[in-house]
Chain A
Amino acid sequence: MALSFKQLLAGGELTERGRKERRSFLLSIALGTATVALALAGYVPILGGWVKRLRPPGALEEREFLASCIKCGQCVQVCPVAAIKLADLGDGFGNGVPYIDARVQACDFSCDAVQCVLACPTGALTHSIDKKEQVRMGLAVLARPEACLARAGKGFKGPARGAEFAGLHRYIEVDRWSPIRISEKPYDLELCDLCVRECPIKDAIRLEPMSADPADKRRTPVVLQACVGCGMCEMICPAEPAAIVVEERKMWVEARAGGRP
């Protein structure tokens, strides 16, 4: 470029060509700054703590997860129940990063061997786990005990989330290999125990009596340490909105300290 930075910034006596060059230089600064500013605006949802997502099994700590994820969606492709979705621009730096909306479609470990973890090329879903029991996505919490059917001593009849619900679940007694629609498997339960019945992890949740009275039918779900936070209970819960939900990234110790069951 023929002009010095001083001329480009301050102007002064310039030829027509020089003025043109200066205009293009200033426009470049303006648009370059705008582009960087827009990219950096992706920080806002992170700093504001608006991005609260249930991440797929094996996800690293949130900050490291966003840094190491290459936003390719290979985890999306291998999930047999299509539980994993990619976030949009609203997630800021989390644009293109996978998450799970458990109420819509939870991870039910139909794949048995954490396929998403195996698919991840960067280890953002850490390769140090190879069993579903090692996963810690969050922790199930009885968020609305008043809505829980078991706590009210009620049973449940019909499809768990209504006939229109598109969510999938692998019922081993129906088909060992392929998941079916939850709406295709109606229940007839004397006491609702769906969260316990469909939990894919052994000893992660159980129903406990609410009083010493043997005639009292009421039971309350109690989440145990084995809970991996997959969200299956949240998806299957027939109450609307769900009585039991997964709190993303919540850990067991933390739960104890918080006084929650």
Chain B
Amino acid sequence: MSEVDKFIIPAAGVAEKRRPVRPKKEVVADNAVTAPAPLEERRKTCRQTIGDLGEGVRTMLGADPVKHEKGEWTETMRAIQAWKMTPEQRAFRRNLLYTHENTKPTFAWRKWRWPSIILINTLFVVSYWLDVQLVEGALTASRFVGFHMADINSSLQVVLAYKEILINLLIGTVTVMLVWWLVGGRSFCAWACPYHLLSELAEMLHLKLARKGLVEDHPLDRRMRSVLYIVFALLALVTGYTVFETISPVGIVSRALIYGGGVALVWVGVLLLIEVFFIRRFWCRYICPIGLTYGFVGATAPVKIQWDATKCLYEGNCRSVCLVPHVLEFTIKNRAHKSVMEAGPDCTRCAMCLEACLPGALSFKVKGVGDLL
């Protein structure tokens, strides 16, 4: 069963498979069967370590997510696993799976996220057309009520090509870094990038066609994005031109919205066609260096998607809707080594997973100063 199919018939397949399974006779120590502590309490002992951060970054760069052996599990995780295997819990989960058979997720966050993308981009357009000087420029660089803002990746291209640190760009880049670090780094992708919205629509069409068996996704090697990141950086350095900007659909779409489009939009159209018929989220998943840049920025961000082991039914719906499913590998049965896990830096904080998850195992976590790292 492919990831896509899994989502279309969410719990049915899983439930059917599980129905004949009789509870195994397990000898569980009495002290392990106590109900687990609430999420917030367990969080304190599940702090993200530097090791977790490194793992997340490596996964973002294309490495396969690390599989933690049972030997590495925390005491709490072991206790929770034992608790989940008690007959009462198994019955409870089985019933829950039945109720999920005919439940469709609502994706209510989208009602905030899409308007966010539209609003941010409309501000640029309106600011120019009504000449109100609110956000002058395009997504690559702008002035927000006079303050310099600059896209981190565009600035990087310019600095590498021009080989000079430009003070306005430095100010603009640091400002943008701080803003996006605060709200999660790659949240830029899901909450601001105009190409992301187009690509999301293309993805919906792709999934619809895939459901009918008309198209098939051809996943690529995720390491490609890291290789291309280095290639584009080197090309800027060696040629002395901002090579990537030539084909960046983010810059092209942003400028087209504000100043009117041209031939460059044909390239964006080609990308979208590839995404509909051939490779799901081709640009965002496998190419975009902007996404990777913001991924680095958000690696230590206070806004995270967190996972609660006690609620997960291992249905996999979260991964089937996710742009970057490798950040949710721990939702596969027996993969998480802690009872509270956080999605890695590649996560765009789009919130699709936490709505696809019917038992509510995933949620937003905004960390305070005390929670950081």
Contacts and interface: CB of A to CB of B under 8 A. Distances in A.
B228 A42 contact: no
A54 to B, nearest CB: 18
B143 A39 contact: no
A119 B162 contact: no
Contacts of B164: 68
A96 B251 CA distance: 8
Interface stretch (A82-90, A208-216, A250-258): A82-90
Contacts of B148: 121
Contacts of B162: 64, 67-68, 122
Contact of A95 (B161, B264, B286): B264
Nearest to A87: B262
Interface in A12-51: 23-25, 27-28, 31-32, 35-36, 38-40, 42-43, 46
Nearest to A98: B259
B242 interface: yes
A206 interface: no
Interface stretch (A73-81, A158-166, A169-177): A73-81
A1 interface: yes
B283 to A, nearest CB: 9
A89 B249 CA distance: 11
B259 A86 contact: yes
Interface string A87-104: 011101101100000000
Contacts of B223: 1, 28
A187 to B, nearest CB: 31
A82 to B, nearest CB: 10
Contacts of A181: none
Nearest to A88: B262
* Range for the number of chain B residues in contact with chain A: 35 or more
Contacts of A122: 141, 158, 162, 166, 168-169
B251 A24 contact: no
B247 A74 contact: no
B151 to A, nearest CB: 8
A207 interface: no
A145 interface: no
A74 B141 contact: yes
Given A66-B241, A89-B246, A28 B255 contact: no
B220 A74 contact: no
B220 A70 contact: no
Given A68-B158, A77-B137, A42 B166 contact: no
Contact of B142 (A39, A42, A74, A86): A74
Interface in B200-251: 218-221, 223-224, 227-228, 231-232, 235, 239-247, 251
B224 A88 contact: no
Contact of A93 (B168, B243, B263): B243
A74 B264 contact: no
Give the interface centre of B136, B148, B279 by most chain A CB atoms within 10 Å. Answer: B136
A23 B168 CA distance: 45
A9 interface: no
B289 to A, nearest CB: 11
Contacts of A38: 247, 267
Contacts of A88: 262-264
Contacts of A95: 245-246, 252, 264
A36 B64 CA distance: 25
Interface string B121-164: 00000001000000011101111000010110011001001101
B27 to A, nearest CB: 35
25 contacts: A1-B64, A27-B218, A27-B220, A32-B227, A32-B228, A35-B228, A38-B247, A39-B232, A39-B246, A66-B241, A66-B242, A67-B161, A68-B162, A73-B259, A74-B142, A88-B262, A89-B246, A89-B262, A89-B263, A93-B243, A95-B252, A95-B264, A96-B140, A121-B168, A122-B169
Interface of B: 64, 128, 136-138, 140-143, 148, 150-151, 154-155, 158, 161-162, 164, 166, 168-169, 172, 218-221, 223-224, 227-228, 231-232, 235, 239-247, 251-252, 255, 258-259, 262-264, 266-267, 279, 282, 286-287
Given A24-B220, A28-B224, 10 more contacts: A1-B221, A1-B223, A27-B220, A31-B279, A31-B286, A43-B239, A72-B138, A72-B140, A95-B245, A95-B246
